Amino acid sequence: MTMYWRAISEDQPGPKWAGLFAEYWPDYQRWWLKEGDAARASYMESRRMLTRHMPELVPLYDQLCELAGGGDQAARFLSMYCPPPYLSGCSQALWPGKAPVLVRNYDYNPAAFDSLILRTAWQGRTVLGTSDGLWGLVDGMNDAGLAISLTFGGRRVVGQGFGVPLILRYVLQTCTTAEEAGKALARVPTHMSYNVTVVDRDRKYLTAMMAPDRATLITHAAVATNHQENVEWISHARFTATVERERYLLQRMTLHRDTEEKFISAFLKPPLYSTAFKHGFGTLYTAIYRPRKKQMEIRWPGTSWPLSLDNFEEGARKVYVPGAD
């Protein structure tokens, strides 16, 4: 399968973002309504919860709602409060060298993916990352040198909370260190279980094991796959090989002294790299964040796309993804 990626920069919400919303909204609206309009939270409840838990984002949210046309469903979707459930794979780990380098594979359904890298300077904070929901992020970095990434936590429970891509956006908009990020992740409710790894420019790091039905556990784990402390969803764990991937990464980090390049290259090979698209999802890309250098890099087998937070260049790439035919 050939995927068409774009990298777009817009300092403040404006015509570029409005154009992206108009392009993506029909597909997102179908997804958001798949359980019916009544299954989703009302606008008043969504905005009230956003105000309660992430008040710093409310002025930005209001701007985006206006740019999206001011419709009720669009505004409720953009709040990302209690969205439909969704599953992904993913592996993420910190290179055990001296520099802060966060590496991740994003495993998901290519038909439900934005294929979009966004650089924004909203509210005075420059952020670069991989888009989800047009203002949420599945991984990213800010100008303070804080990088963040998520994996699905491997639990069936769905509760009252926000889609985790918006929580990642919130962290990057409001936090400058791993410690600050940990406090935010411990406080904001999520609608499903996720593992969120953050690292700052001083290589202070943590992984937050978030869930809708229990308190967030802040750990010093440098590796996260698709379970939390214990495997709770056996069939999902077997299908995604979450335990095997975690074990492989831990062994690389403790038994090998990989160079940065060798460590990154391991993510483009089994068991970390997946081509199981016929069964739901496979690896769409590998992302590398070097927050001290303010650099992001996206890799696929045989090609890469380096990006800089300070010297960002818009562009587009057509990329062949093995196994996604």
194-238 pLDDT, tens digit per residue, is: 999 999 999 999 999 999 999 999 999 999 999 998 999 899 898
Q: What is the pTM of this model?
A: 0.97
Phi and psi at residue 72, to the nearest 5°: -60, -50
Dihedral, 106, 111, 113, 114 alpha carbons, nearest 10 = 140
Phi and psi at residue 308, to the nearest 5°: -120, 135
Q: Is 3:323 a contact under the CB 8 Å cutoff? A: no
Q: What b/e sequence results for 212-251 when a residue is b if at least 16 CB atoms lie within 10 Å of its CB, and e otherwise? A: beeebebbebbbbbbbbeeeebeebbeebbbeebbebbee
User: Which candidate, 180, 129, 159, places its Cα nearest to that of 49?
Assistant: 159
Report pLDDT for 124: 97
Distances from the Cα of 245 to the Cαs of 89, 91, 105, 150, in angstroms? 11, 7, 11, 15
* Three-class SS state of 126: coil
Half-sphere exposure of 184 toward its Cβ, with a 13 Å CA cutoff? 24
Tell me the per-residue pLDDT of 52-69, one tens digit each, with 9 for 90 and over.
999 999 999 999 999 999
Residue 246 above 90 pLDDT?
A: yes
